[in-house]
Structure 1
């Protein structure tokens, strides 16, 4: 695994944490959760910008957004009591299929 993919995994992980904190900010009215959330997004974008030095931007962004989205749906279901509906499952499946398709296309 190249260092670019390490940066990409860091970007994804930090984005997931930042998004998970979003609800606790209560509309950005609580200082510390807001600072943690915004800092997480900033760190994630810096790591993503480093990742695209060695990973095609389309592939990097597809992985970043798809894995983040899938993880947030799972976190919402497990920790926030949000329902997992057939529509959500279909949507996540389509996102994953799109990312797989992009990756099969190669880095041209």
Structure 2
């Protein structure tokens, strides 16, 4: 259950980051409000996940997958430049997260 909560916290953090981008520096009200809702939800959910997961593993997985999801979405939906080094290092983040998850 804790890993499911952690994954849900990652999704909420990812949605918060997308809302940050869509808010255009707080110029758009709905994405601005959603940003706070998603980040708050992520923190609360992550807090419950850490009851059974070591903080070092939980934080690495939470931040690593959040970074990877955001990088991929930036390339796909926001038309950010795609290059070999960006893909390579994003894959390294994912491999590191998988390694940490398997080790715990």
Q: Which runs of 4+ in 1 moved over 2 A?
A: 96-106
Decide whether aligned partners of structure 1 residues 21 and 8 sit closer, same or farther in structure 2, where only a CA change above 3 A counts. same
* Match in the other structure for 2:29: 31
Q: Note the alpha carbon deviations across 1:32-90, whole angstroms, 9 max, x for none.
A: 21110111001001100000001111111111111111111111111111122112112
- SS of equivalent residue, structure 1 residue 22: helix
Consecutive unaligned residues in structure 1, runs of 5 or more? none
Pairs aligned (count): 104
Q: What's the Cα RMSD here?
A: 1.5
Distance, in Å, in 1 between the alignment partners of 2:101 and 2:6 is 14
Kept in 1, the 8 Å contact 2:12–2:42? The answer is yes
Per the normalisation by structure 1, the TM-score is 0.85
Contact 2:13–2:66 at 8 Å: present in 1 too? yes
In structure 2, the gaps of 5 or more residues are none
TM-score using structure 2 length:
0.88
Equivalent runs, 1:1-108 vs 2, <5 Å: 3-106=1-104
